[in-house]
Amino acid sequence: MKSFDSEKRQPKTVNETRIRVRYAETDQMGVVYHANYFVWFEIGRVELFRQFGFRYKDMEREDDCYIAVVFARCRYKAPVHYDDEVVVRTTLTHVRDKVIRFGYELRSTEGKLLAQGETTHVVADSKMNSKRLPEKFLKIFRAAAGAP
């Protein structure tokens, strides 16, 4: 799925992943525990990569390329409850040689905004040394972020 960021940019690639809230993800009141949103963001990232035609697991194994989280935030807009179905919308919002930023929206199946978030990642090798994102991924990610 594509969405337009602005008239000067290419359309952004958006991944939409549906998740059914499990009982184990909720607190005593039946409301999703706040940390689970970050788990759902990761699910969205992994599925976005699959949409690009590769698996994150292969990126690590074949290219010794990892994306380590260095910043994460979530703004909670409305509670999510046990057995609700939610949609995680994931986009690439910023891509540089060694830094990648993802944006997230969590919506009800009716379209209500439930949460917004972002994560920033640095590119590293298996020893956690900074490295440049391989060109094959850089090209895909820049196109997906709507780079001109």
Q: How far apart are CA 132 and CA 134, in angstroms?
A: 6
- Does residue 118 sit in helix, strand or coil? strand
* Cα–Cα distance measured from residue 62 to residue 113, given in angstroms and rounded to the nearest whole number: 37
Q: From CA 96, how far away is CA 113, in angstroms rounded?
A: 29
Are the CB atoms for 59 and 65 separated by under 8 Å? yes
For residues 106 and 114, the answer to whether their CB atoms sit within 8 Å is: yes
Q: Which residue out of 5, 27, 58, 97 is catalytically annotated?
A: 27
Catalytic residue list contains 83: no
Tokens linked to 111: 């379209």
Phi and psi at residue 51, in whole multiples of 5°? Answer: -60, -30
Positions marked active-site: 27
